[in-house]
């Protein structure tokens, strides 16, 4: 009978991978109609590079994750309710997928959009 040897190692998860998970969770959240960027210069750069994780900034320090989300919310929804729901959804999905604690999820509402105008 052979004996199994376990060799410990490290797992490194790129911030871009975490941003991808957070972006998907954000876009699936009620009231979120799109992602934005922090400023105009970032908007131009994201448009030119076609960044799939646009509107998500991930920082990892001391094995804790901080996520900043820049979103566009549906006009007519309660912004605080949408933001709280978004925080919970992103935190849950990232912690479930990555197995690391999310210290903070910060929501920056960059605009409102009317998707169903009353004609």
pLDDT(16) > 70: yes
Domain ranges of the chain: 15-113
pLDDT tens per residue across span 30-89: 999 999 887 765 555 555 556 678 899 999 998 899 999 999 999 999 999 999 999 999
Q: What's the farthest any 2 CA atoms get from each other in the chain?
A: 76
CA distance 54 to 27: 11
49, 90 contact by CB (below 8 A): no
Domain 15-113 is of which CATH architecture? 2-Layer Sandwich (3.30)
């Amino acid at each position: 009978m052979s004996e199994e040897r376990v060799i410990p190692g490290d797992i490194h998860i790129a911030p871009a991978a975490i941003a991808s998970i957070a972006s998907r969770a954000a876009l699936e959240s009620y009231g979120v109609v799109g992602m934005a960027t922090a400023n105009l210069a970032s908007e131009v750069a994201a448009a030119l590079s076609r960044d799939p994780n646009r509107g998500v900034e991930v920082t990892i320090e001391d094995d804790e994750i901080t996520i900043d989300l820049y979103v566009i919310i549906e006009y007519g929804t309660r912004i605080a309710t949408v933001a709280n729901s978004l925080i919970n959804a992103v935190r849950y999905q990232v912690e479930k997928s990555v197995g690391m604690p999310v210290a903070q999820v910060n929501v920056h509402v960059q605009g409102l959009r009317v998707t169903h105008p009353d004609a």
